[in-house]
């Protein structure tokens, strides 16, 4: 019995420019892309580093702002306490001379009270006196860098109204912190209004 060989048809080449070929290629590409994306979603290595990179700058800005503002408040408190103690010398007067203390004594008292946070050379002050508080000039004059320039010491005599203003132009500890305000320092001013006692 003779065997008949069965001949298979030769595969026909697919035209890559045909619409059917493009559809097949596009479908395979989308399937591969979808599988790759699913693998990336399941792959969680490095997620902590990405989260840290996104949140760390914001956290550092907030932390630096808290530190800078805390130091400003601390310096202001020290300056207030030094101004209060030095102003008390004017209010009570010098018992040895029966008059207000000299500018040297006043500045030394300021330096001793504020030296923990404020350099003595950077302390500026203005002391004016008059018969009434309404007649005292409270205007502060500053230069282009924010430093007080109207330094004067006129404590007056007994039972006069006295206005004491002490300033310190504090530079920012964190230099780029000043970029938000457009300045490089902050002028801290402590003010005391008093009436001197009978000497």
**Residue 195 parent element (H or E):** strand 185-195
pLDDT of residue 126: 95
**Residue 153 parent element (H or E):** strand 152-153
Report residues of the chain scoring pLDDT below 50. 10, 21
Residue 121, classed as helix, strand or coil, is helix
pLDDT of residue 78: 96
pLDDT of residue 119: 93
The pTM of this model reads 0.72
Handedness of CA 53, 58, 59, 60 (dihedral sign): positive
> How do the domains of the chain map onto residue ranges?
48-195
Pairing of strands 123-130, 152-153: parallel
Model pLDDT for residues 2-24, shown as the tens digit of each residue: 555 555 554 555 555 555 545 55
Crossing angle of helices 47-92 and 103-114, rounded to 10°: 150
pLDDT of residue 129: 94
């Amino acid at each position: 019995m003779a065997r008949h060989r069965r001949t298979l048809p030769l595969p026909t080449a697919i035209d890559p420019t045909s619409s059917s070929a493009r559809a097949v290629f596009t479908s395979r590409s989308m399937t591969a892309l979808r599988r790759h994306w699913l693998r990336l979603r399941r792959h969680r290595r490095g997620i902590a580093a990405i989260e840290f990179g996104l949140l760390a700058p914001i956290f550092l800005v907030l932390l630096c702002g808290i530190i800078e503002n805390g130091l400003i408040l601390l310096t202001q408190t020290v300056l207030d306490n030094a101004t209060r103690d030095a102003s008390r010398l004017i209010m009570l007067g010098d018992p040895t001379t029966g008059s207000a203390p000299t500018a040297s004594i006043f500045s030394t008292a300021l330096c001793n009270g504020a030296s923990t946070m404020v350099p003595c050379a950077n302390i500026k002050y203005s002391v004016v006196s008059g018969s009434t508080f309404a007649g005292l000039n409270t205007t502060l004059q500053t230069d282009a860098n924010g430093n007080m320039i109207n330094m004067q010491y006129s404590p007056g005599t007994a039972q006069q109204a006295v206005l004491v203003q002490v300033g310190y132009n504090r530079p920012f500890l964190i230099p780029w912190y000043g970029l938000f305000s457009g300045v490089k320092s902050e002028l801290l001013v402590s003010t005391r209004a008093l009436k001197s006692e009978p000497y």
